[in-house]
Chain A
Amino acid sequence: DAKTTQPPSMDCAEGRAANLPCNHSTISGNEYVYWYRQIHSQGPQYIIHGLKNNETNEMASLIITEDRKSSTLILPHATLRDTAVYYCIVRVTDSWGKLQFGAGTQVVVTP
């Protein structure tokens, strides 16, 4: 399964857009990119996923490069409640939803 690389931490100002990068240079053609976040002492929360097209939902936007070797999660207007660890995951190739978590990016949103 493809591995991902994320910066260990980043700060963001409240109200501004937060752009979270992820590298997945060994991704296979049938692997999806998933983003989850984990607020302290809670279970992970699904944010968004995509294959090759850009995706948007009520929480965030996902921009995947044309070669699919990297992606960016965009939180359009960060709030203090967005402070969390964000995980970029490339889904294993079976279809059961098993996820392998990396270290993620600790995002701190400040007033």
Chain B
Amino acid sequence: GAVVSQHPSRVICKSGTSVKIECRSLDFQATTMFWYRQFPKQSLMLMATSNEGSKATYEQGVEKDKFLINHASLTLSTLTVTSAHPEDSSFYICSARGSGRQGATEAFFGQGTRLTVV
């Protein structure tokens, strides 16, 4: 399957600082990428849909000014957590749409980024 790479895999930052997470599609072009957040013992929650060359679409309840998404190329999307607070500590996961059989698409996921805000 297609490969999606996230960087960094782990990051610890101080409260009030900003953190950038990168998501790259390594062997295919991804016009659309998705960002998820997962708190301990919970399922993945979709945060936003990132479209190459246009503004991201955020899910209800997700602050777009706090979670900045940039999708400047067909292989890279970034999520910046601005003015991070301890409650932003979570597992952030990106996915990119791959290609499947006609009428279906598969989403391939990065390995996730564990963010800890202290």
Contact = CB atoms under 8 A, between A and B. Distances in A.
Interface of A: 32, 34, 36, 38, 41-46, 49, 51, 87, 91, 95-104
Q: How large is the interface on B (under 10, 10 to 19, 20 to 34, 35 or more residues)?
A: 20 to 34
A97 B32 contact: yes
B49 interface: yes
10 contacts: A41-B91, A43-B93, A43-B109, A49-B100, A51-B103, A95-B105, A96-B97, A97-B107, A101-B43, A103-B43
Contact of B112 (A34, A43, A49, A51): A43
B114 A46 contact: no
B114 A41 contact: yes
Contacts of B104: 32, 49, 51, 91
Contacts of A103: 43
Contacts of A44: 44, 93, 95, 109
Nearest to B49: A98
Interface string B62-82: 000000000000000000000
B25 interface: no
Contacts of A41: 91, 112, 114
A104 B109 contact: no
Nearest to A85: B43
Contacts of A102: 43
